[in-house]
Structures are given as structure tokens and as C-alpha cells.
Amino acid sequence: MPGSLNRREFLKSVGLAGAGVTLASSGVAEAAASNNKPNEVPYRYWWVKYQDKPTIEIDWKQVQRFKEWKTTRGSLSEYRSDMYGEGFHKKLNDLSSRNKKNWEANAVSGYTTKDVAFKAAAGYGRPTMTFMGPQKTSTPEERGVPRYEGTPEENSQIIRAAARHLGASSVGFVELDTNTTMKLIYDEQPNGDKRKIRFENIDVGYETDDKLAIPDKARYAIVFSVQMSGETMQRGPTLTGSNTTGLSYTRLWLTLAQMHEFIHGLGWQSYGTPRSNGLGIYPAMATMAGLGEMSRLNRVITPQYGPMVRFTFLLTDLPLAPTKPINFGVMEFCKHCKRCADLCPSKSLSFDTEPSWEVQGQWNNPGHKAYFENSVTCRNYWSQVGTNCGICFAVCPYTMDDEATIQKIWKATAATTPAFDSTVTRIQNAAFPAELGKPIKSPESWWENENMPEYGINTMRGGRKL
């Protein structure tokens, strides 16, 4: 009978109320109600700490918006001419073509006809890259319904869910700030385009022959990664090894185009790069979004996949909840572990214990304390081997899968107790032997594994739970 409780019912209700109070005060009830913490990238190991600033030191006053074409992707011939004299660039390019031709003719491991065909196949299917997305899907307006509306947290959640399903391995968000993160947007686009990128007080963005105009309101960046195959990269520096680079770019640009379409279909605007590696500095945006930490590679290392990722991002006016930078001990670990620098065939990576404010050349963007690399000598080696190298990625201890418990233990130790970093490095060197300038595993052996997971990647890495 409602309103009258017998002794047993009374005690039961008191017990339940007590349990409720206890759970609520400990935050368990809140966690049970929502698995997603809106300001964090979900499914992380416990040793990944979230903090307001990234582990890399940044002097935002010194940071200027960079011209992408000043990287070695855009100005390699100029840098080579300055460093080695006129004609060197052509000589190396000729050497690259000649080597590849000879090696294929002589069926050199990693450069055989099947490797050449395979590399070309991995690069096929990339969509045409556009500033405002393909815009082939209908908008809510065209469908006669209002546009999608949600809180920044809800928007972040659906964007993350969609991006993950479309092939992104991790997704984070940055809200652009004029004095800080907006400086990570390129001043000018890559070579062959060199268009200026400008933010304007306009309702809809536009592009001209010399400018990409982004509305001020499109200040939310969706930063995401696509996982690369460590198993494949261990066959570098060969065409077999670099296949994962080609394939991940194909997947990256496809996911980017699909995310444009998703946002368009929700009734909001999105802006991305119309040219490979444009719009902004991907590793910097990924660091600010909490997808990983900068490292000795002068690239991002993620908690889940190590350095085996490619990043890109797009800007949108759909309000999103920013995710925080993370710290899982990488910058400290890199001070002791110089495995990538030791095994770099062109010795292009820094051997300094501490990161530096001093850049190595005009290809680096000053204003942050990093392990700046000699990008020209790195590219020279690429020319010799006829493809991108990837050895530094392949030998990084964080690249190795962490199905083995000991891998999780050392990562947790590196994140919490840097005193053991040197010991961990020695163990890693013994457990994962590698020789200078040689693939870790035979390129030919790659073809023997017919049971490789799709795209050569383990999508359950990094403590992900379904």
C-alpha cells in the first residue's frame, strides 16, 4: 500500500537511499550515466594525464603563422641549392628514379614489380580535395527541416562517433584563439597553390585565386588521426614499408571529405585543405587537441598507436567542446631514449638530451622548444632509397603493439616514474633489435602473411573497450 511501509520495505528504501548518496558523492553515478567525458579523448589508459598546457614549451609571442611552402615539401630544391650548390637537387632526383628502375629490374627485396604495383594501388582512390568539402549531400534546408542543433558536448560526441566510424583512430577538438592556436593555421598554402589563408568577418567562406577566406565563426577544429600499420612500416625504407604511408593518406583524405559531407548534411559549414598537408600544422593541432605529445621525432606520439598515425583537421562553425592536451611521459622518455636518432640512416634527428628553441633551418617554425630535425638530410636519404623512409617511426618503442602486458607496464612506468626510462630503453633495444639503415623485417616476408588485419592495423589498440 503506498504511503505505508512495513519494516522490511522501510529498511530496504533506507539502504537504497544510502547507496545512492554514496555513489553520487563518489562520482560513480555520474560516470554510469555518461561514459563520455566531454573534455577528454575517450578510451585512454589511466596513465594518460590531461593538463591545460602541452608538454612541449611554447612561446606564443614568438610563434608566427607559417607558410607551408617553406617546409621541405615545398622548398626542397632551394634548400638543397643553398646547402650543396646548384644541380644537386636534380642529381638526387635522377638518382632516385634510376635506383627505383634498377632495383625493380633486378628484383631487389622491397622494390620488386609487386611492390611497385602495390604502392601505386595504395595511393589510388583519393578524393578531390576541396576547401569547403564536396557538398554533394543535401542540407537540412533542402530537405525541409531545421539544421541539427546540440550542445557543444553533444556535437563533439556525434562528431567523434561519426569520425571513428569513417576511419579516424582518434578525434580531438581545438577552439581557435587569436593569440595562440589560430597561429597554427598556415599563413599560406603549400607549394603549387600558395594561397593566403585569412579569417574574415563573413557569413560564408570563399576562395579566390590568391586567397582562402574562412569566417571568424568557423573557429572549431576537428583534429583526427588515421592509424598506420607498424608491421608494414617495419619493412621500410622500401616501397613495401612506405605502402602504409600511401594507404593512410588515401584513407585520411577520404575520411576528411566524408566529415565535410557529414557536417554539410547537418546544416553547418566546414573548411579543410584543398591541397595535401595544407590549412595548418597537423602535429601542433593534434598536440593541442590532446591526441598525443611531441617527441624526439619532432612528430606526435599518441598513447594508443605511438607515432603510427597521420593527422589532418577541418574547421567548422558547429560549436564543439575542446579537448585538453595530454601528458603520458613521452617528452621525458625521449630525453633518455635516442633509438630513433641512433637508427636514423641520415642522422637527421636530434641527439640532444634536452629539446631546444633553436631551429635547424627555415623549414622549422620557431617559437616552441622541440627536437628540431634536419629535414633536408632526411629528404636526401629518401631520394637515395626512392621512397619515404619511416625507420624512425618503425623503431620507436611506442610503435610496438601493447597486447603483451609488459608493454603496458613500461608505458605506465614511463608516464609515472621517469627514473626508469634508461632501463626501459635498454630492454627495448634488446627485445626489438634493429640495424642501421636496414628494414627491421625482411620486405619479402611481408607478403607471406596472408592473415594481416584490414589495413594492417589493430583497431583495438590503446585499451579501447567496446
Partner 1 sequence: MFWFIIGIILGCILMWVISQVRSGTFKATWYQWVLGVLAVASALFGIQNYQGFISGLEPIAAKYSLTLYGGIAVVLALLTWLIPILTRAIGNKKDKEVNNAAS
**Interface residue list for partner 1 (CB under 8 A):** 231, 400-407, 430-433, 449, 458
Closest among 204, 202, 188, 368 to 280, alpha carbons compared: 188
Nearer to partner 1, 133 or 241 (CB): 241
Least distance from C-beta 408 to partner 1, angstroms? 9
Nearer to partner 1, 72 or 304 (CB): 304
Least distance from C-beta 107 to partner 1, angstroms? 25
Least distance from C-beta 389 to partner 1, angstroms? 21
Q: What are phi and psi of 334, to 5 degrees?
A: -65, -25
Nearer to partner 1, 28 or 404 (CB): 404
Nearer to partner 1, 184 or 309 (CB): 309
Least distance from C-beta 420 to partner 1, angstroms? 17
Nearer to partner 1, 107 or 406 (CB): 406
Nearer to partner 1, 21 or 431 (CB): 431
Rounded Cα–Cα distance for residues 249 and 256 (Å): 10
Location of C-alpha cell 611554447: 58
Least distance from C-beta 8 to partner 1, angstroms? 39
Q: Say how many C-beta atoms besides its own lie within 10 A of residue 254's C-beta.
A: 16
Nearer to partner 1, 148 or 432 (CB): 432
Rounded Cα–Cα distance for residues 170 and 41 (Å): 7
Q: What are phi and psi of 149, to 5 degrees?
A: -130, 140
Least distance from C-beta 412 to partner 1, angstroms? 15
Least distance from C-beta 427 to partner 1, angstroms? 9
